[in-house]
Amino acid sequence: MHKDGNDAATGVHEAADGSDAARGNTDEAPVAGSVKAPGARGLSARGTVAGVVSAVVIVAAAGSLVAAASLGPQSAGSRPLDAPLAAVPAGSNVGICPGPARLLEGTPVGTDPQFSPESATAKSLVSAAVLSTNAGVVPGSRLAELNGNPLAEIAKDPGVPTAAPTPPALLAGVVSQRTVDSVSVLSADAVGNQQATAGAVMSYTATDGDLRGLAAAGCQQPANDLWLVGANTSLGRTAVLNLSNASSTPATVSLELYGAAGQIQAPGSRGLLVAPGTTRSIVLAGLAPDQEKLSIHARSAGGPVTAVIQQSVLRGLTPGGVDFIVPGAAPATRQVMSGLDIQDPASARALTAKQGFADAAAALHITVPGPADAVVEIKLYGRDGQKALPGGGVVTAKGGSVTEVSLAGVPTGQYTVAATSDVSFAAAARVTRGLKSDSATDFAWSPSSARLGSQHVVTVPRGGERYLVFGAPEDRAKITYTPITADGKVRAAATADIAGGTTAVIKVPGEVGGTEVLGYVVSASGDAAYGTVLLEQDGRTDIATVAVAAGAAGQEQVAVKLGY
């Protein structure tokens, strides 16, 4: 990562032993078909999803009985009774990791996409960590292919947990740098009716070929409603949407597409079947060609799915980067993105002035799904406080479309960006790396993320320059980050006390206690804070970001009202 003049005193702090603190103010028709992996029965992840669905059906049935009873004749003395909350059994923690980046070959409309092998130097690796319970037991967990073929067993089923005489040390079951050649699934079973705390990341690197660059994505929990911002289908840009279904229930996915000129009505964007244990790939240029700004709203009926867009750029013969665009926060009146590493503004301005390089600069994409325009106020927070946004920081984003806000002119440094409006919107921020038009460049999209909570497992790919970037847009926040090493040990915690309106950058050390750092347990207190893992390569133009995902959900409860 580049350094600016404040690095020595206020910039990046390296937690060499995992105990240094960083201070924030230190700142169907013409669809290009589908690719389906063979399904397989008995997939553990499907059993998990089926269990959760069964629980929901039970609750729904109870609700139906109550509704039926309420429609019947009621005696004069009838009265409602407050019943205890009905607990819904906790399900497994399931994360679906994207497959390797693949080069898209000629794809005539109406045929399946064809992918060529990766370059000779391409590597696709998954790292994962599963935390132990309060009883010191690592939940039963595993890494497998989407079709159920096992890749690595992390921990066996521990059975019924027993209380320990003394509080045990926190441990982790880990998978470190497991090579994968397809979509993979991390699943961790619930223990004591509490969902496991786990996390995983897939990273792709290549130093040659058209897909040269660095891309990384956290392994997603499946959902039925997803927003992806940042796609581009213009000349030299390739965007492939991959929908994966790890459940035992077929998923029917419909897509809403938003461009700069408004919502795009695309035949073939509705009723896309994703069979259990498969991934369906859709070339977005077949639905929305020549769109420099494109956002996707994916909704699934039936089984929940994950969605990721493989986005790549090729300017003539020069690679322009590759990234995995993942879902961000649902439309809301406030969106926050962290991990923005801005290059020298003068050099970036000179590069973007060249033909074909307009998207080689930092920018914010705002998607307003409703008909009303949104007046959006944008604020940037660096390591030493708020920075003025050239142009004033207030823009009007047209309803039903995607608006780009340039971040040109922002001083070099690492930032958190917060955007607010009285109209709900989705957003993501683009960062770039590389300032020479005759050399390879790279880019990354930082999606809007959820506020940090009490416990997140943040896995970090090995190698290169790795940073934890935390932002506190409003008031002071305290971040505790505890290293997890490749031997499964959870090391001593460190704390970052972040002043309101600042961003803190913490350099991830290569080792702690003589063992490689695989990730962190991150917890936040105080005012709202947000986090991202920033990945770069020393001496290369590679860049990637991985937003810290929401923490695991505990036991859920549903209120059931009864009457007689």
| CA-to-CA dists, residue 87 to 223, 455, 550, angstroms | 21, 22, 22
- Which of 55-64, 194-203, 385-394, 551-560 tops mean pLDDT? 194-203
What type of residue sits at position 491? Answer: R
| CA-to-CA dists, residue 129 to 126, 154, 196, 322, 482, angstroms | 10, 9, 11, 26, 13
Lowest mean pLDDT among 34-48, 349-363, 397-411, 528-542: 34-48
What type of residue sits at position 278? Answer: T
| Residue pair 401/389 in contact by the 8 Å Cβ criterion | no
Rounded Cα distance, 393 and 380, in Å? 9
Q: Report the phi/psi class of residue 46: left, alpha or beta, with left for phi > 0 and alpha for psi in -120 to 50.
A: alpha
- What is the percent of the chain with per-residue pLDDT over 90, rounded to a whole number? 72
Confidence at residue 391, expressed as pLDDT on a 0 to 100 scale: 83
Angle ∠(241,244,250) on CA atoms, nearest 5: 120
For residue 86, give every residue at least 6 positions away whose Cβ sits within 8 Å of its Cβ, in sequence order, or none: 59, 62, 557, 558, 559, 560
Confidence at residue 102, expressed as pLDDT on a 0 to 100 scale: 92
Q: What does the DSSP assignment read for 166-214?
A: SPPPPBEEEEEEEE-SS-EEEEE--BTTBPPPEEEEEEEEESSSTT-EE
Asked whether residue 17 carries a pLDDT value surpassing 80, the answer given is no
| CA-to-CA dists, residue 52 to 86, 192, 316, 338, angstroms | 14, 15, 49, 33
Confidence at residue 104, expressed as pLDDT on a 0 to 100 scale: 82
Angle ∠(269,242,359) on CA atoms, nearest 5: 90
Asked whether residue 54 carries a pLDDT value surpassing 60, the answer given is no
pLDDT band at 46 (very low <50, low <70, confident <90, very high): very low
At 488-519, the pLDDT tens digits run: 999 999 999 999 999 999 999 999 999 999 99
Q: Strand locations in 486-514, DSSP E?
A: 494-498, 502-507, 511-512
Count Cβ atoms below 10 Å from residue 144 Cβ, excluding itself.
Answer: 20
